[in-house]
Structure 1
Amino acid sequence: MIKRELAVFLVVGSLTVLIDFLTYRGLVWTEWMTVDQAKAVGFLTGTLFAYFANKVWTFGHQDHAPGSVWRFVLLYAITLGANVLVNAGCLALLSTLSIAVPVAFLIATGVSAVLNFLGMKLFVFKTSNLTEKS
């Protein structure tokens, strides 16, 4: 079960990044918003997709789990903080390397992805409140 959830989680994560990027680029290209506004809307659009896709597809919850939205928001706030801190720490440790930025980005993204998966499985969409559907 966890292998399937992890595989679907990775697909959902990839689609989330794609939705964020395409929304951001589309809004900038059409000049409907400033770059910063477009980035915020892209991120929020991806986040909404991630919530519903992970709820239904990754963890199989068709019914509403009371409090899951707030747990999701809390989890994303925590993992955003972890992502920024890990990125900053890696940049400090690797500052002499020419590949510091992409390596720090990948490590920070990996850490936040692991934390997001565990947080969604054990905290946001925990199966103790709902009957798990396969």
Structure 2
Amino acid sequence: MIRRELAIFLVVGSLTVLVDFLSYRGMVRFGLIDVDIAKGISFILGTAFAYFANRLWTFGRTNHASGTAWRFIALYACTLAANVAVNAAILHVASTFAVQLAFLVATGISASLNFIGMKWFVFRARSITELQ
């Protein structure tokens, strides 16, 4: 089960980046809004896509469970902080020539934390007593 979820999570993550990128590029290309605002909106669109795709497809939660959206937001805020911190730490230790390495390691760690957090915190299976 966890292998299937992990595989779908990786597909959803890739699609999330695509949603972010395409919406950002579309807004910028057509001059709809300022570049910085476009990036913020595209990130939010990608995050919303990630929430619903992971809830419905990766973890199979078709019914809305109370608190999942807030747990998802809290998880994403924490993993964003972890991503930035790991990136900065690697750049500090390995110097600026390692930008790509720092990005990849930081992304890998935050993606791993996102999966773990979604599996056991955001979209966790609820016990029978919680359902009553």
TM-score normalized by the length of structure 1: 0.93
- Determine helix, strand or coil for the equivalent of 2:62: coil
Which residue is equivalent to 1:125? 123
AA in 1 matched with 2:100: P
RMSD (Å), alpha carbons: 1.1
4+ aligned runs moved over 4 Å, structure 1? none
Which residue is equivalent to 2:30? 30
AA in 1 matched with 2:107: T
Higher helix proportion (structure 1 or 2): 2
Which residue is equivalent to 1:83? 83
Which residue is equivalent to 2:111? 113
| Residues 53-98 of structure 1, C-alpha deviations (whole Å, 9 max, x = no match) | 00000000000111000000000000000000000001111106x3
- Residues 9, 54 of structure 1: 8 Å contact kept: yes
Report how many aligned residue pairs link the two structures.
128
- Determine helix, strand or coil for the equivalent of 2:22: helix
Q: Structure 2: which 5+ runs fail to align?
A: none
- Residues 84, 108 of structure 1: 8 Å contact kept: yes
- Determine helix, strand or coil for the equivalent of 1:126: coil
TM-score normalized by the length of structure 2: 0.94
Q: Structure 1: which 5+ runs fail to align?
A: none
